């Protein structure tokens, strides 16, 4: 599996395309709001001859969902989140204009992610791990063969997700990190929702919130 990343919107959010040798592709957390951002994502997909088959959200804060409806309209794909984050998603239209995003287009999921049901596309299988604390329905996606985690806003290089937003809880987040991420091997790469990628080992050794 290959991970291709893009940094979009005023929140510097990381959007990821996951694709494999079959050419099938999953979009995770599309933060593309401006037309130029949408075009950059679309052009990469076309230039690399990728077939988008699924849209996933790790969680549903505004910066991670701007492009949901664009992806659905453009590629006609299923859209999955964890059911516990449905209220988070549905709240976005109530505050998007006050944040300066009046053109936000709401999207409704077509199904729900659960830890007992892997996500499959092409030749790839992703393990779904439930990791609340930053958001009540936050999940991370683990691909064991490439030792890759798509981690959303749970764990960052030298930091962790904020817990002062609705549905956030610090103790829950720390528990999620310890049980869902720190149980993975040290050489697993974590692709976070903001900032650079890191590894489980680096954060185990030096993250000030985990020591």
In this prediction, residues 119-130 reach a mean pLDDT of: 98
pLDDT of 211: 84
pLDDT of 102: 96
On whether residue 175 sits in a domain, the answer given is yes
In this prediction, residues 129-135 reach a mean pLDDT of: 98
In this prediction, residues 50-79 reach a mean pLDDT of: 98
Tell me: the pLDDT tens digits for 144-174?
999 999 999 999 999 999 999 999 999 999 9
- Domain hosting residue 130, numbered range: 2-206
On whether residue 211 sits in a domain, the answer given is no
On whether residue 196 sits in a domain, the answer given is yes
On whether residue 35 sits in a domain, the answer given is yes
Q: What CATH number is given to the structural domain containing 56?
A: 3.60.15.10
**Which residues face 25 on adjacent strands?**
19, 52
Tell me what the pLDDT averaged over the chain comes to.
Answer: 98
Tell me: the pLDDT tens digits for 83-114?
999 999 999 999 999 999 999 999 999 999 99
On whether residue 19 sits in a domain, the answer given is yes
Beta strands 79-82 and 111-113, pairing class = parallel
What percent of the chain has pLDDT above 70?
100
On whether residue 152 sits in a domain, the answer given is yes
What domain count does the chain have? Answer: 1
In this prediction, residues 9-18 reach a mean pLDDT of: 98
């Amino acid at each position: 599996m290959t991970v291709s990343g893009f940094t979009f919107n005023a929140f510097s959010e990381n959007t990821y395309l996951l694709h494999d040798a079959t050419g099938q592709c999953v979009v995770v957390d599309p933060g593309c709001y401006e037309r130029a951002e949408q075009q950059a994502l679309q052009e990469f997909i076309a230039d690399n001859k990728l077939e988008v088959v699924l849209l996933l959200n790790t969680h549903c804060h505004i910066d991670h969902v701007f492009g949901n409806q664009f992806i659905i309209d453009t590629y006609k794909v299923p859209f999955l989140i964890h059911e516990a984050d449905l209220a988070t998603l549905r709240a976005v239209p109530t505050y998007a204009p006050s944040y300066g995003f009046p053109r936000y287009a709401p999207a409704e999921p077509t199904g729900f992610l659960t830890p007992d049901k892997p996500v499959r596309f092409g030749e790839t299988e992703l393990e779904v791990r439930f990791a609340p604390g930053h958001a009540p329905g936050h999940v991370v996606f683990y691909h064991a063969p490439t030792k890759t985690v798509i981690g959303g806003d749970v764990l960052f290089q030298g930091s962790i997700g904020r817990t002062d937003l609705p549905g956030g809880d610090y103790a829950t987040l720390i528990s999620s990190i310890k049980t869902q991420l720190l149980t993975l091997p040290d050489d697993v790469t974590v692709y976070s929702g903001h900032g650079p990628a890191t590894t489980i080992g680096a954060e185990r050794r030096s993250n000030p919130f985990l020591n």
